[in-house]
Structure 1
Amino acid sequence: MENPKISALLIVFNEEKNIEEALKSVEFADEIIVLDSFSTDKTVDIIKNKYPNIKLYQNKFEDFTKQRNLCISYAKNDWILFLDADERITPELKNEILKEIKKPVTRKAYFFKRKFFFMGEKVNYSGTQNDKNIRLFKKEVAHYDENKRVHEGLSNLDNPGTLQNYLLHFSFDSYEAYYKKVIHYSKLKAKDLHEKGIPYQLIKQLSKSAFSFFKMYILKLGILDGKKGLTLSYLSALSSFKTYEFLKEKYS
């Protein structure tokens, strides 16, 4: 029986700092596909000059769901391995992936547990202790929910499995980079809320922002992460606040 084959997929924009390490960590895949959103840095040049066997496509970014679904459409193999450019597959996780998909009976999708790094330092709490995302799945269930522009998820899953080895997530190397992502995600979330007819309410903006901070800093033990936990909790609150600020603009 022929071994199952994997298509490793990445959607990227201006990832010149991350792209090489990310690609190296998925070299075991049978094909690697990168969908670029017309990067303005050296991302595309690096791929073309150093990784000629990689299938490179470009498409203007609208939202994460559309980019992921388009990238999936280019894949030819039965298994999809999705990786963000700031994530790394460890050798241990690689071996577990290859072993798992060769089993006679498998799940249709698998969660990867993640170890989170912020500005080069490991974060142990702040909600990251339970962080996991579906990164490996069969192409037959490979469709992201089009009702979500951010925090996108597969739309037709039943009882996914969880792999035991960790995916490394080197989230941001600076506060400014994280802040920029918060603003970008907040605009997309505001668009989702507006299209669902959800009105802007000041009390909801303030209460959700306050609870976001409390949830991460206290309930999810961000306080134990010291300054990193305080910063991440603030940015979580800011994300909620900015989402409703952008929603208010849509109704003005």
Structure 2
Amino acid sequence: MGCQVSVCIICCNEKQVITTCLDSVAWCSDIVVVDSGSTDGTFEAAAAHPTTPRIIHQQWLGYAAQRDFAIQQCLNDWVLALDADEECSPQLAKQISALNETSNSDVAMFSMPRRNYIARRYVRCWSPDYQTRLLHKNRMTIAGNFVPEKRVAMPGFHIVKLTGPLLHNRLTAFQPSDFNDGPRMQEHAELLAQSLAGKGQKANLLNLIFRPALTFLKYYILRGGFLQGRFGLVIAYKTTIGVMLKYSVLYGKQEFEHATHRKPPE
């Protein structure tokens, strides 16, 4: 028996990309769009789409909690969880359609390679990054409100890799908030710092100095960012700044915690 699959999409102000995302999952009969307050016409674009998705309004709960809410609204146990700026490639759709529940009865999740694009340009040093997005609701849990969401297979179940790619298409060009402490980047840094703290990591001097430097070397040299010229250089800068921010936020949290245990000056 084939796996019955639902699709859930979380979005907010994604009018530019929601139609393409829905087009890519037209093979699915149960599509849920969870919107957290769009004002740009995303709701209207989704409502007018031929796939007739169910659209649910839900105030933003945080990355993991919002995704979990969307998953729970789906009718089927198997759920493909997408962001609005992602697409299910034809190869991935074919693999999902061919899955058999009997032969995958001990599988909790499927992961797949994600190909990343910015302004329709392929980001070599970010791709592929594997994402666990095809999930069985009753065989996994989402641990914590982290970025990225941490999904854990329940005992007795495991994760299997698919080869069909997920496509991540950010249509906008670079923005100032990509390189400074804009609200969205700050939220990411806060959640990433929380994730690091949960793993027992510290923002010591070595991490504050060498993590950003090693990140730049990894993405610009080892993962081939230099092969894309100035574009690859900017991507490496952006990634490095993100690492600097999360360790800076982690350091701030540590200092605040230490300050609460310090004696006040006499």
Please state whether the residue corresponding to 2:163 is helix, strand or coil: strand
Cα offset for 1:249?
4.6
Equivalent residue in structure 2 for 1:222, among 215, 225, 234:
225
Q: How does 1:106-117 map to 2 (within 5 A)?
A: 106=104, 107-117=107-117
- In the other structure, the counterpart of 1:45 is 44
- In the other structure, the counterpart of 2:133 is 135
Asked whether 1:145 is paired with 2:143, we answer: yes
The 2-side partners of 1:178 and 1:219 are apart by 26
| Residue type of the alignment partner of 1:109 | M
Residues 79 and 135 in structure 2, CA contact (< 8 A), matched pair in contact too: yes
Asked whether 1:233 is paired with 2:231, we answer: no
The 2-side partners of 1:138 and 1:144 are apart by 12
Unpaired segments of 5 or more residues in structure 2?
A: 257-266
Residues 19 and 43 in structure 1, CA contact (< 8 A), matched pair in contact too: yes
Q: How does 1:89-238 map to 2 (within 5 A)?
A: 89-100=88-99, 102=100, 104-106=102-104, 107-123=107-123, 125-128=124-127, 130-146=128-144, 148-156=145-153, 158-176=157-175, 179=178, 181-193=184-196, 200-201=203-204, 203-238=206-241
The 1-side partners of 2:130 and 2:195 are apart by 23
The 1-side partners of 2:3 and 2:222 are apart by 42
Distance change >3 Å, CA 98–CA 52, structure 1 → 2 = closer
Give the number of aligned pairs. 247
* TM-score computed with the length of structure 1 as normaliser: 0.85
Distance change >3 Å, CA 28–CA 177, structure 1 → 2 = farther
The 2-side partners of 1:195 and 1:163 are apart by 29
Cα offset for 1:193?
4.6
Distance change >3 Å, CA 172–CA 233, structure 1 → 2 = farther
* TM-score computed with the length of structure 2 as normaliser: 0.81
Distance change >3 Å, CA 4–CA 133, structure 1 → 2 = same
Cα offset for 1:173?
2.6
Percent identity among equivalent residues? 26
Residues 109 and 140 in structure 2, CA contact (< 8 A), matched pair in contact too: no
Please state whether the residue corresponding to 1:18 is helix, strand or coil: helix
Which structure has the larger Rg? 2
Unpaired segments of 5 or more residues in structure 1?
A: none
The 2-side partners of 1:45 and 1:6 are apart by 25
